[in-house]
Amino acid sequence: MRPALNLQPVVLSTSDPALSRAISRTVRRLAPCLMLMYVVSFLDRSNIGFAKQALERSEGISESVYALGAGLFFISYSLCGFPSNLILHKVGAKKWLALLMVGWGMVSMATMFVSGATSFYLLRLLLGVLEAGFFPGAILYLTYWFPNSIRGRVLGLFYLGVPLALILGGPLSGLLLEVRPWFGLQSWQWMFLVEGFMAVVLGLFAFWYLDNRPSNALWLSAEEKQALAKALALEEQERRSAGPAKLLPMFRDLRVMHFLLIYALIQISTYGAVFYLPAEISALLHKPVGIEVGLVSAIPWICTLVAVYLLPRAADKFHKHRQLASLTLVISGCASFAFPTAGPRLGLVALSFAVAGFIAVQPLFWMFPTGYLADRAAAGGIAVIGMGNLGGFLAPNLKVWADEYFGSQRAGLYLLAGLTILNAGLIALVKNRRTAKSAT
């Protein structure tokens, strides 16, 4: 029987100055670029929430059409991540991530031409196809560069892209929505044009800036490359002994399915908040979505920024990834239950706790599969787990179904809160090596 997943990161010797220098330089070189790419990625998929009311007024996009279209993104996103990650593993991140980014930027720009339900559905599906490879590809790319002992913090830096996208994107989208018609384009069309163009520019920059592997990095010395390669090779050997390294065994591995279920529920919670946050803030303030709602919408994401920065560092320091992840979701679930009945001020506090937890738990979660899967199984397994993004399709549709079935606008939020609490229990069931050995 294979040993169970080791949740305790391998502690590499800090007495090797070459390794310390290599890690430090790699963090400074790659983390800001990947984080910025994630900012634009998340902005281009979630800005639809700011266009919701405008699309309803000008293009007749109803609540049910919006929910289905917002969710369709995640069907193509989830299904295309697997082949995309295998292509990245073969051709390299430099070319593939840049190509995907330019492509989805162009599709995001094309969303300004939506003229009804059919075009809305098709563009959301196509955006999902092109964005599918970025996130699992970036997670896989980080395993090529960062040892397990530092990867939690780097994942935390990468995930800062989510709150930054919504801190900066909320006011930006709100501001663009207040632009008067110009050159025949409505304000919501300018929003998609400007924010999609940002992805095209950044994709071209990434092609010039990124390197595929440490061996390609001209900014590392030969000694630093050797030290980093040695550390990564030792961890690869440990993963091969603990988890699958080939694709077929990975598909049969129950732990991978466990990770998939956990991640799907995380995404249901996350996108249940993201897609409806502007509307919920608008209801709290009794104001239409615009610059003021955009600014207030940034408050939960500022709280998220702090949580995403601190939690992975605490988990790496105390080696308590599983415990902190489970506790974070319990707090988020309780805050989600409290939000619908709270007043404007307490409601904003509860919403901030809930949203911060939904995002901050994710870098902790990814320490489990990236510390378990090796080689091609890592490329495929990360993408398979990424199919949990189907939770983004389920979230708006579950909310609409619950609201209509129970005849209450609170029912959907209560359902999402309950699923969050359930997921805290699923994370608590992830076993570390010590527990598994004692059981056998």
Residue 99 half-sphere exposure toward CB, CA atoms < 13 A: 12
Q: How many CB atoms lie within 10 A of CB 407?
A: 7
Hey, what's the torsion of the CAs at 13, 19, 20, 23, to 10 degrees? -120
Task: Report the candidate in 201, 166, 185, 182 with the shortest Cα–Cα distance to residue 48.
Answer: 166
Contact 104, 44 (CB under 8 A): yes
Identify the pLDDT of residue 126. Answer: 93
State residue 182 phi and psi, 5-degree precision.
-145, 130
Instruction: Count CA within 13 A, CB hemisphere, residue 202.
Output: 22
Asked if residues 55 and 189 have their Cβ atoms less than 8 Å apart, the reply is no
Nearest to 191 by CA among 183, 179, 208, 203: 179
List C-alpha distances in Å: 71 to 49, 59, 127, 220, 335: 12, 18, 12, 43, 24
Q: What is the pLDDT of residue 101?
A: 95
CA dist 350 to 182, 269, 299, 432, Å? 39, 14, 11, 32
CATH number for the segment(s) 17-432: 1.20.1250.20
User: Rounded to an integer, what distance in angstroms lies between the CA atom of residue 354 and that of residue 57?
Assistant: 30
Torsion angles phi and psi, residue 185, rounded to 5: -110, 140
In 3-state terms, what secondary structure has residue 315? Answer: helix
Per-block average pLDDT, block size 10, for the chain (440 residues)? 43 67 91 92 80 73 78 82 85 92 94 85 92 88 86 87 80 76 77 91 94 90 90 74 57 80 89 73 71 78 90 84 92 86 80 90 86 62 74 78 80 86 91 42
Type of residue at 358: F
Identify the pLDDT of residue 327.
94
**Residues linked to residue 185 through DSSP beta bridges, in sequence order:** 182
Number of CB atoms found within 10 A of residue 405's CB: 11
The SS3 call for residue 15 is: coil
Q: What pLDDT is attached to residue 206?
A: 94
DSSP secondary structure string for all residues of 196-245: HHHHHHHHHHHHHH--SSGGG-TTS-HHHHHHHHHHHHHHHHHHHHHS--
Q: Distance between CA atoms of 151 and 157, rounded to whole angstroms?
A: 10
Output phi, psi for 305, to 5 deg. -55, -45
User: What string of H, E and C letters represents the secondary structure of 57-71?
Assistant: HHHCCCHHHHHHHHH
> Are the C-beta atoms of residues 7 and 319 closer than 8 Å to each other?
yes
Best CA proximity match to 132, nearest among 332, 383, 401, 404: 383
Q: Taking CA 30 as the corner, what is the angle to CA 26 and CA 35, rounded to the nearest 5 degrees?
A: 140
The rounded distance, in Å, linking the Cα atoms of 385 and 90 is 20
Residue 408's contacts (CB-CB under 8 Å, 6 or more residues apart) are none
| pLDDT given at position 162 | 82
Locate all alpha helices (DSSP H) within 111-213, ordered by sequence: 117-131, 134-145, 148-159, 161-176, 187-209
pLDDT (0 to 100) of residue 246: 58
160, two tokens: 């800062």
